[in-house]
Amino acid sequence: MPRRPTDRSGPPPVVLPTVHLARNNPADVLRARRSSGSWERIARGVYLPGEPVDNPDRSLSVALGRIVGVHHRLVAAHWFSHESAALLWGLPLWITPTRTHLMQRHTASSSRDPSVRHHPVVPPEDQRAVLGGLPVTSLELTVVDCTSTLPAMQGLVVADAALRAGADREVIERVLASRTGRRGVTRARAVISLADDGADSPGESAARFVILRDGLPPPQTQVPVVTRLGTFWCDLGWEEWRLALEYDGRGKYDGRATDEFVREKRRHDALLEADWRVLRVTKEDLRGTTLTRRILQLIPAGSTTALRPRRALRG
């Protein structure tokens, strides 16, 4: 399948934040810096330099800071897993996690940090990696763990991004096969079977999930449309219906010059002139059956549109 000329093979390396450990600083220094707001306590014995609370990337910095802090606190062998591993691999998550996931041979006692979720298993040697000096589960094992435990839509966001980052689908299938009969594997198998490396953002993955869950035919990702202004690539669509979906995320035009909006308007008009219907989708459309109803209204008369909901995706 062709790809947009600007495609990247995967996410850029994750930049880990600098953290401060309580054990390395006198108590009076900790009190002073917490009081002044220059340091924020993000986990037991772990502090992060303070930032404005309205910083949209703050929750990600906190999640990564907790991972770094936990790593420095531990002596025994460990591997970050699930959503924590996804963050370290640079994969987007629909919801930034508030707990750090960790694989260790032994389960932690109740006296340990409640913000850490311990999994008393050791990943196979061929399913381990090191990223930024931190031990982590492989990209493929991370996909299986996330799709087995997260709600299906959130799991698809991870699976799409992992394939785009270079995850090996055959390896993923082997890991799935080794988990037969375990909790969450049925959902994981359903989600992974529908994963597509053409998804360019979490919003696109979420929109495609709703479409698939409600039983519409699978849309193509990265749909090329030839117009008088050249070839444009639409996020999702059905060539047989000449229907394209474009996901508009929050802040798409924030801080950009008016020229950007004008270019997008000319692009939209060119698609319409090429006899394509274009549906703009936002996060609000993903609630309930709103998106499906909007799509059904635009399907050409006479087309077969019987819905076949995928029950495995409900959850």
Q: What is the pLDDT of residue 110?
A: 42
Give helix 169-178 / helix 139-149 axis angle, nearest 10°.
50
Q: What is the pLDDT of residues 84-93, one digit of tens each?
A: 999 999 999 9
Angle made by CA atoms 217, 235, 211, in degrees to the nearest 5 = 30
Q: Round the average pLDDT of the chain to a whole number and report it.
A: 90
CA atoms within 13 A on the CB side of 71: 23
Alpha-helix residue ranges (DSSP H) falling in the chain: 27-36, 58-73, 82-88, 139-149, 152-164, 169-178, 185-193, 202-213, 258-273, 290-298
The answer to whether residue 54 scores a pLDDT higher than 60 is yes
48: which strand partners?
40
What is the mean predicted confidence (pLDDT) over 152-170?
97
Which two structure tokens, joined as six digits, stand for 192?
A: 């992974």
Whole-number CA gyration radius for the chain:
22
Which two structure tokens, joined as six digits, stand for 97?
A: 């996690």
- Pick the closest to residue 171 from 218, 227, 129 (CA basis): 129
The answer to whether residue 249 scores a pLDDT higher than 80 is no
Is residue 285 within 8 Å of 214, Cβ to Cβ?
Answer: no
Q: What is the pLDDT of residues 250-297, one digit of tens each?
A: 555 555 557 777 888 899 999 999 999 999 999 999 999 999 999 999
Which two structure tokens, joined as six digits, stand for 44?
A: 């037991």
Hey, what amino acid is at 260?
E
Better-scored residue on pLDDT, 314 or 192: 192
* Predicted confidence band of residue 104 (pLDDT cuts 50, 70, 90): very high
Q: What is the pLDDT of residue 109?
A: 52
Q: What is the pLDDT of residue 75?
A: 87
The domain defined by 203-313 folds into Endonuclease; Chain A (3.40.960)
Give residue limits of the domains in the chain.
20-198, 203-313
* Predicted confidence band of residue 2 (pLDDT cuts 50, 70, 90): low
Positive or negative: CA dihedral 39, 43, 46, 49: negative
Q: Considering the entire predicted model, what is its pTM?
A: 0.91
